[in-house]
Amino acid sequence: MQGVQRQELTRSVYLAIPHIYTRHFNAPGKDALRLLKRLGLGLIIIHFRENGNKDVEVLLNPVIPRKSYGIQYKKRKTLFKEMKGRYRDFNKGGVPSTIETVSAYRLKALYIAILLEEKRDLSPSQLRTLGADPSTQSILSNNYYGWFRRVKRGVYTLTETGRSGINLYPEQSAYLKKKLLLL
């Protein structure tokens, strides 16, 4: 179902599954391949090696229709903007919807919070020179997560909610702090 939904955004969609499920392509497995072909979906098999490496095998390439039926320009543009705004993808595919996904917006806000935690009170232009996103002013003004407080005109600080927000995302925070050290 995810693959069919992704076809609304792009023509070339692959499904990836671990090798353990593909040991023997018996009748049900061959039926699944036939179904993927009919749906125009590709299939990638991931082989997990004992040494920790992963090999990827493209078992089936998607069939791209001549006309782009169902591709919605606005949704596709939004998806690509979201992907471009990420530093790295921290979300795990195929997990239940109870686990919160980390959006590009949250990553940008988290990076600003880390900068404010390290450097204290800063203006949006100072934050941008330190590597924050061009939409920094909007993120600070909207303060969607309640992480920032305006100290005076054009200067912001981090709230206690913001400090705890940094701790809510340890993997992302560690990555962004490492990125900050490289600047």
What does the chain come to in residues?
A: 183
Ranges in the chain annotated CATH 1.10.10.10? 104-182
More confident residue, 29 or 144: 144
pLDDT for 91: 54
pLDDT for 65: 60
CATH architecture of 104-182: Orthogonal Bundle (1.10)
State the pTM of this model.
0.55
Token pair recorded at residue 44: 């990638």
Q: What is the pLDDT of residues 29-86, one digit of tens each?
A: 788 888 888 888 999 988 888 887 888 888 889 887 655 555 577 777 777 776 776 6
Element (H, E) at 137: helix 136-142
pLDDT for 157: 95
